[in-house]
């Protein structure tokens, strides 16, 4: 059984996306799967909370006095709104480093309103608008705290990246990861959906002090993790502190959910063709199948159960829906 997301234009099916997903308990036992739970994919930006964990683990976060807001934006794939860039500027001020040290590159803000404002003001985009700029601020802070070469903080053999590898080995119980290069130039590993689900179960479990600190930062400040009109922010706001999620490039996602009975579930999903438009509807279908949302939570997230397709005149021309298929 797999999740099938259909893109309808009027009454006809125009495109189809397949989605694999898996849910695990605190022992890593598979509770439910759609497709291959051991499917290997690149974790991409869903890794960010665990990359940020070394900033806390090494003592850098306390040494520089980072707030929960600053830790949250380190875990973010943010919109590049003013609240995001100003928070990151605060991090750079604390570590006395400017954005010239960044290795993430520059792209326009995800947020359309922010992008238009920058154009109208005749200004240029800068590295802080990059959705990964919070993560890179955290890596630079860790590098400075450890006394590493700041110009090499994204090199896999740099102590910052090696500590991230060690953290992954600790939390997954695995080693020998194959690494690629992410869009922001940082190393990013390939792993199974099952392993990603285990990571997010531990992020939400409350059993790991470092991860618990990041969980609390993310769910307390969900707007800093993504921003306006973003599923990650809307989901965490709707869940009121009992769940965390982090999307990654090519439509991968991890979730950690604290159930009412005290147990904690970890979930990972991957849209096989990498199209992000299928991710929210597939996530909502899986959460519904597992009965993990209250009626109130479901109502707050109802718009994601079926995504409306609007043309350039804002005319409703179709929908994206999800269902299970044998």
Digit-coded pLDDT (tens) for 197-212:
999 999 999 999 999 9
Q: What is the CATH number of domain 2-325?
A: 3.40.710
Predicted pLDDT at 160: 98
What was the pLDDT predicted at 305? Answer: 96
Q: What is the pLDDT of residues 44-85, one digit of tens each?
A: 999 999 999 999 999 999 999 999 999 999 999 999 999 999
User: Helical H runs in the chain?
Assistant: 48-57, 60-63, 68-74, 82-95, 112-120, 133-146, 159-172, 193-205, 209-220, 222-225, 231-239, 279-289, 295-300
Query: Residue 259's pLDDT is what?
Result: 96
Mean pLDDT, rounded, of the chain: 97
Mean pLDDT of 78-97: 98
Please say if the pLDDT value at position 169 is more than 90.
yes
* pLDDT at residue 326 is higher than 90: no
pLDDT > 90: percent of the chain = 99
The CA distances from residue 307 to 45, 147, 209, in Å, are 23, 48, 37
pLDDT in tens, 280-324: 999 999 999 999 999 999 999 999 999 999 999 999 999 999 999
Residue 255 pLDDT grade (very low, low, confident, very high; cuts 50, 70, 90)? very high
Cβ neighbours for 326, distance < 8 A, ≥ 6 positions apart: 1
The residue-averaged pLDDT of 165-180 equals 97
């Amino acid at each position: 059984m797999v999740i099938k997301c259909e893109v309808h234009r009027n009454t006809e099916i125009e495109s189809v996306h397949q989605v694999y997903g898996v849910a695990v308990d605190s022992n890593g036992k598979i509770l439910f799967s759609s497709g291959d739970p051991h499917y290997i994919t690149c974790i991409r930006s869903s890794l960010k909370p665990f990359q940020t964990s070394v900033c806390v683990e090494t003592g850098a976060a306390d040494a520089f006095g980072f707030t929960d807001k600053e830790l949250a934006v380190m875990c973010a794939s943010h919109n590049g709104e003013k609240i995001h860039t100003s928070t990151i500027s605060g991090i750079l001020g604390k570590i006395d480093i400017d954005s010239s040290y960044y290795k993430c590159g520059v792209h326009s803000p995800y947020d359309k309103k922010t992008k238009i404002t920058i154009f109208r003001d005749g200004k240029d985009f800068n590295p802080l608008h990059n959705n990964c700029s919070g993560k890179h601020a955290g890596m630079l802070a860790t590098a400075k705290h450890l006394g590493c070469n700041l110009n090499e903080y994204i090199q896999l053999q740099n102590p910052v990246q090696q500590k991230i590898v060690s953290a992954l080995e600790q939390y997954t119980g695995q080693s020998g990861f194959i690494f690629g290069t992410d869009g922001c130039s940082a190393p990013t590993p390939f792993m199974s959906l099952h392993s990603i689900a285990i990571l997010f179960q531990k992020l939400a479990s409350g059993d790991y002090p470092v991860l618990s600190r990041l969980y609390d930062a993310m769910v307390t400040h969900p707007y800093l993790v993504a921003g306006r009109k973003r599923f990650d922010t809307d989901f965490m706001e709707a869940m009121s502190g009992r769940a965390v999620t982090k999307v990654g490039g090519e439509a991968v996602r991890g979730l950690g959910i604290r159930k009412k009975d005290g147990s904690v579930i970890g979930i990972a999903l991957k849209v096989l063709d990498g199209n992000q438009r299928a991710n929210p509807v597939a996530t909502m279908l899986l959460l519904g199948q597992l009965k993990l949302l209250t009626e109130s939570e479901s109502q707050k997230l109802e718009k994601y159960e079926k995504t409306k397709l609007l043309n350039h005149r804002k005319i409703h021309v179709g929908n994206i829906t999800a269902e299970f298929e044998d």
